[in-house]
Amino acid sequence: MAAAPPPVPIPSDSPATTGLQRSLRLEDWVTVITMALLACITFANVLVRYFTDASFAWTEEISVFLMIVLAMVGGASAMARDAHIRIEFFAESGSAARRRRLAQLGAALVALLFAFIAVISVRLVWDDYRYEETSPGIGVPQWWYSVWLPILSALIAARAVGLYRRRSRQSDAEYLARDERSEA
């Protein structure tokens, strides 16, 4: 008599995981493009400074903007992947129900914070537009930069809501299985 096959682990290409990975492609591509632009701009500025003892005036302004975009898009991606920073003493101790509830609380608080930032930063964009603020380095309208703050904050809030919903649908055993898979 043949022995029963070992239990099959939950595949990482389940429909929910595959859908999440597919939905994160945009963030991944924006991250790659942003990092490539940062590297090219910085390299071009280094070359110009080396050969001419001068610098492009616009590189610092664009680089700071790109780093902010990179941080916000990376934050959205980390939120969706549940890879954000947490205090392990609290997050990894206690019962499965407690750990799952703490994960839900963390996602809810992040969603509230970034929804609030998105709402109040709309006022910042409006003021930049209304008062015709210009950037100090190259003199372009400041709202060209600030318009991305509410958009990317809303993206992080949406990713946090999605994480909250995924954690709400999971049983405690599924939540622990996810933890064990991520540690392996």
Residues 78-103 pLDDT 10s: 999 988 888 888 888 888 888 889 99
Q: How far apart are CA 151 and CA 118, in angstroms?
A: 7
Q: Is the pLDDT of residue 169 over 80?
A: yes
Q: In this structure, what token pair is assigned to residue 52?
A: 């001419």
pLDDT for the residue 184: 58
Q: Is the pLDDT of residue 130 over 50?
A: yes
Residues facing 141 on adjacent strands? 134
pLDDT for the residue 9: 40
Q: What are phi and psi of 150, to 5 degrees?
A: -65, -35
pLDDT for the residue 19: 73
Mean pLDDT rounded to a whole number for the chain = 87
